[in-house]
Amino acid sequence: MSTLEPLLIQIVLLLLFSELGMGLVTDAQWAQYKAKYRKHYKSDDNYHRAIFNSRVQLVANHNRLYSQGKVGFRMGLSEFSDTDQGLLFRYRTAVPPPQEPSVGFVAKPPGYRHYSQISGGIDWRQYGLISAVENQGTDCLSCWAFSASGVLEAHLARKNSRLVPLSPKHLVDCVPYPSNGCLGGWVSVAFNYTRDHGIATKASYPYEPKQRDCRWKPQCSAGTLRGYVTLKNYDERELAEVVYNIGPVAVSIDHLHEEFNQYSGGVLRVPSCKSDKASLTHSVLVVGFGTDATWGDYWLLKNSYGTEWGEGGYFRLARNANNMCGVASLPQYPLV
């Protein structure tokens, strides 16, 4: 089967759905959705409407299960509910970076608590280390830049007792191959670039969902790092220790699932999620962890889909659940 055949099959199915199921969403509701998120289509309005129709039905069916207590998270409609992110991801051109040695061991800070000594979890938002949630947009695969800049600003904030939001757009424009701007990239490559060149503040290099020529001046650097750590043990307890004792951690997950894309709250579990590194498709930031009274242990993660997605832009992912969606497969954090 050629690489185009799966795409054509999905388009045919969506067009068929649009003919049979257009009545699920009225013309007025579709117009209201497009106006809310400033959506403008040319010849493919029915294509996106078909996707949106299917999501409306999916959300309604899932939330019926949630109301019955059969699942621990809710779904909802968002800016991304008319977008087939699986198709979008196929155009990613970033290739895996060469295996570079990162720092494998870091001396434990004073007062370090091992997993058995930790109770209640932690939320680094309460300590002023986490900047506001931003929106990468539907046309730019820049999650890697948000994850890298977010974890760096958090560790610099903890070191300097002052939070200075950093620029993911600087990384999108300037980090070299094998990262590829809005077509995908890697946190480790962004770390290496920042080590050598520094990074701009968010205010001086604001975000837009497209890649442009690099306009960075190294003398304007707002921060840098001296190296980074990659946890390699696929160990959620080790990850929890690092998050608790050292700070937020950039992770990558398998996110190409409707449960994730339409998530709106609760403790997310995706039975079909994979955890091998080849399946990791989206970079996010672990800012804490805890335990839900009903649905058990969770990771608290910051996404880059805006504040209307999830729980104000955050999501809780099942923790100690066999490395759900690969959350512990590629954790990385900077040394500042």
Catalytic residues: 143, 282, 303
Residues whose CB falls within 8 Å of the CB of residue 235, separated by 6 or more in sequence, listed in order: 328
Q: Please, which residues have CB within 8 angstroms of residue 22's CB and are 6 or more apart in sequence?
A: 49, 50, 53
Say which residues have a Cβ less than 8 Å from residue 14's Cβ, sequence separation at least 6: 47, 50, 51, 54, 84
Round to whole Å and give the CA distance between 173 and 102: 24
Neighbouring-strand partners of residue 75: 263
Buried (b) or exposed (e) across 121-160, using 16+ Cβ within 10 A?
bbebbeeebbbebbbbbbebbbbbbbbbbbbbbbbbbbee
Q: 247 CB contacts (<8 Å, ≥6 apart)?
A: 124, 129, 151, 154, 155, 158, 333
**For the purposes of burial, counting CB atoms within 10 Å of the CB of 46, is it exposed (0-12), middle (13-18) or buried (19 or more)?**
middle
Residue 17 and residue 50: Cα distance in Å, rounded? Answer: 6
